[in-house]
Amino acid sequence: MKEYTPSYIKLFQTGELDNRIKILKERLKGCIVCPHHCKVDRPNNERGFCRAGANMVIDGYGPHYGEETVLVGKGGSGTIFFSYCTLRCAFCQNCEISHHGEGYEVTPSELAKIMLSMQSKRCHNINFVSPSHFVPQIVEAVSLAIKDGLTLPLVYNTGGYDETDTLKLLEGIIDIYMPDIKFGDNIKAKKYTMSAKYFDIVRLAVKEMHRQVGDLKTNEQGIACKGLLVRHLVMPENVADTDKILEFIRNEISKDTSINIMSQYYPAHKSYTFPELSRRINRNEYNAAVKYAQKMGLTNVMST
C-alpha cells in the first residue's frame, strides 16, 4: 500500500464523526458499551463491572518499541495505556492498572493533545491499549485531535471482550484492530477471566473487525496502516484451547490473518490459585501451537 489516509478524516469532514460520538455517548447512559451490559449511569459516575466512571483514566503514554515490528518501525508505536478492564483475568500481568484503576484522569481535550504530541515525536500510529470501556470518550478525543491535525492510523488494542454493536460504530474510525483471542472455550474463559461467553463474544467481535478492515496491509516502509492483527498467548496445559482458536481464524476469518503467537505467559496475580496456571509454558507447548498454525495453512504467523 502506498500513501495511506485514514478514513476518519472523511468521517470528520462530512460530520459523520460527530454523529457517531452522539450515538456512542448514549451507550454510556445505562452503560452497554461492552458485553457486560451493566446498565449503570456512567456519565454520573455509577460504576459497573469494569469500575470505570465518567472520565477516562490512563496510566501513561509514549512511543513504545515492544509491540510487533509492523507497528514499531523507527519511531515507535504511540501507545496510550487505559486503566480498568472488561475482563479482569486471574493471570493479569498489570492488575494494579487493569483491576484497581491505577492512573490519572484525562479529559478528551487532554487525550487529543497526547495523541498530537506522539504524532510530533514521529510515532507511526496511535495505539489505544484496553480501550473497550472508554470508546465514546476516546472517539470524542479523536475528533478534537483531527481538528488540530491528527493523521496517524489508530490501533484498537483489546483483550477481545468487545460489544459488536459498539464496534460497528467504529467503522471508518479505527484503522488497525489488534484483539487478543485468549480462550477457545467459554467455560474455561469464565473460570479464568470472570467474563461470560468469552469465546462466543470474541468470535463475533473479530469477524466484525475483519469485515471493517480486512487482512493487515503495510506501507512501502513495511509499517502497518490498516487491517487485523490477532494476538494469542499460549497457556500451560493448553488451557487456552489454542487449536480451537487457530481453527476459528483459519475457517471463519482468513488464512492470511496476521497472528502473533506469543510465548511470554508467566504466573501473575491470582495464577497460583490454579495449579495448571502456576508455571510458564515449555518449549514443546509453544512449538506445538506454531506447528498447528502451519498445519492449518495460516500464512502470516509471527512468533514472539
161 or 248: CB nearest ligand SF4: 161
Q: Residues with Cβ < 8 Å from 166, sequence gap 6 or more?
A: 24, 27, 32, 33, 34, 132, 135
Radius of gyration of the chain from Cα atoms? 18
Distance CA 239, CA 232 (A): 12
Look up residue 154 and give its three cell numbers.
Answer: 489508530
138 or 261: CB nearest ligand SF4: 138
22 binds ligand SF4 (CB under 6 A): no
Q: E strands along 111-214, which residues?
A: 126-129, 154-158, 176-179
38 binds ligand SF4 (CB under 6 A): yes
Give me the least distance between CB of 270 and ligand SF4, in Å please. Answer: 19
Residues 120-149 touching ligand SF4, rule: CB under 6 A, are 133
What number of other Cβ atoms are within 10 A of residue 184's Cβ? 23
Of these, 13, 18, 26, 37, which contacts ligand SF4 (CB under 6 A)? Answer: 37
Of these, 11, 24, 34, 129, which contacts ligand SF4 (CB under 6 A)? Answer: 34
Q: E strands along 191-243, which residues?
A: 217-218, 224-233
What number of other Cβ atoms are within 10 A of residue 127's Cβ? 28
40 or 209: CB nearest ligand SF4: 40
88 binds ligand SF4 (CB under 6 A): no
Site size toward ligand SF4 (CB under 6 A) is: 14
169 binds ligand SF4 (CB under 6 A): no
37 or 255: CB nearest ligand SF4: 37
Instruction: Please identify, among the stretches 25-33, 70-78, 174-182, 189-197, the one whose residues bind ligand SF4 according to the rule CB under 6 A.
Output: 25-33
Q: Which among 135, 236, 252, 256 has a CA at the least distance from the CA of 199?
A: 252
72 or 139: CB nearest ligand SF4: 139
Of these, 6, 11, 21, 36, which contacts ligand SF4 (CB under 6 A)? Answer: 36
Measure the CA angle with vertex 230, ends 292 and 10; round to 5°: 150
Please report how the helices 16-28 and 135-147 are oriented relative to each other, as an axis angle in degrees rounded to 10.
150
38 or 268: CB nearest ligand SF4: 38
Burial, 147: exposed, middle or buried (Cβ in 10 Å; 0-12, 13-18, 19+)? exposed
H/E element, 243 = helix 242-248
Residues 46-65 touching ligand SF4, rule: CB under 6 A, are 48-50, 52
Residue nearest to ligand SF4 (CB): 48
Chain residues binding ligand SF4 by CB under 6 A are: 31-34, 36-38, 40, 48-50, 52, 86, 133
